[in-house]
Structures are given as C-alpha cells and as structure tokens.
C-alpha cells in the first residue's frame, strides 16, 4: 500500500500537468496562427504566404523575427531545389536554344543560392542593407531566367514545371521581402 500512494500522487500531479501543457500548446499555436495571418496580410497573396509559413511547424511558436528567419530558410531551400532543376534542364537540353536558356538560368540560380546563404548570414548579423540587397539579387536572377527563357525559346511544354518553379521562387522571395520590411 505504501508503494501505491506515491504512484497515485505522481499520477495525480502528472495528469493535470500534461493537460495544462496541451492547453498551452494549443494556445501557442493559435497565437502563432494569428501572427502568421497578420504578417502575411501585408503580402501580395496572403493565403500563399500563410501556406508557406505553416509548412514549417516552428512557425506556430515563432515571433516575427522567427517567422522572417523561417521564410528565409524556406526560400534558400527552394533556391537549392531550383538550381538542381536548372542543372538537370541544362544537362538534358535538346538543342542550342534550350542549352543557352538553361545555362543562363543555371548561372542565375547558382548566384541565387550564394545570395540566399549570404542573406541568412546578414539576417543573423542584423545587417538589413546587405540582406535586402541579396534578396534583390535573387529576384533579379529569377526574373532574368524567366525573361531569357522567353527570349530564346518561348516556353516549350516540357519546361512548364520549371516555369512554375521560377514563378514560385519569385513569389516566395517577394513574401520574404514583405515580411522583412515589417521587421526592419
């Protein structure tokens, strides 16, 4: 009987603590959702911005600084993915026009990956001028890739997925800028 009493006491203490923890987690997530909605309301497409941030579970417990960092990390990851796709497209070019367009995009995305890494460092060092400059480089590179593709080879059906990737990269980089303007 003596061993049951401590077990019963522990259980009586542990269960309310677990319930309290669950309640606090739910409240924190609702607060996080409200902050995400507020932050994203200042972007071109709030619903896309919300989806972007909610794709990372850390967003629900982050403040504005945390959301900005998460958005930067997601954009850096998307730049890496875009570079891989551009390299694939370059390696599988069917003719010179496809190769020239893919080469321009691959170079732009290689530069964008570097710019995103520098953006993350600038963010951590609170160097907003360098941060905004690097993000503008990314936007310029993606825009140049899109324009080059249309100048050289007007969107063959096989590369529609790459066009979508470019559009997504451009869109999320602009969301990051909008979020960062709320912070700096």
Q: What is the CATH number of the domain that holds 50?
A: 1.20.140.40
Q: What is the pLDDT of residues 87-107, one digit of tens each?
A: 998 898 888 888 888 899 999
Report the number of distinct structural domains present in the chain.
Answer: 1
How much is the pLDDT for 28? 44
Q: What is the span of the domain harbouring residue 154?
A: 4-183
What's this model's pTM, rounded to 2 decimal places?
Answer: 0.79
The rounded distance, in Å, linking the Cα atoms of 1 and 144 is 77
pLDDT digits (tens, 9 = 90+) for 10-36: 666 666 555 555 544 444 445 789 999
């Amino acid at each position: 009987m003596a061993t049951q009493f401590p077990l019963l006491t522990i259980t009586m203490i542990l269960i309310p603590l677990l319930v309290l923890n669950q309640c606090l987690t739910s409240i924190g997530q609702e607060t996080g959702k409200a902050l995400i909605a507020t932050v994203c309301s200042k972007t071109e497409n709030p619903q896309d911005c919300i989806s972007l941030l909610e794709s990372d579970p850390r967003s629900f417990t982050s403040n504005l600084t945390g959301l900005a960092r998460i958005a930067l990390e997601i954009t850096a990851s998307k730049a890496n993915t875009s570079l891989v796709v551009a390299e694939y497209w370059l390696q599988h070019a069917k003719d010179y026009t496809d190769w020239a367009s893919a080469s321009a995009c691959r170079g732009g995305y290689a530069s964008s990956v570097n710019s995103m890494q520098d953006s993350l460092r600038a963010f951590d060092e609170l160097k907003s001028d360098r941060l905004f400059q690097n993000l503008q480089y990314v936007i310029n590179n993606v825009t140049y890739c899109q324009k080059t593709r249309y100048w050289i080879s007007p969107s063959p059906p096989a590369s529609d997925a790459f066009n979508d990737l470019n559009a997504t990269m451009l869109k999320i980089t602009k969301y990051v800028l909008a979020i960062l303007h709320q912070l700096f």
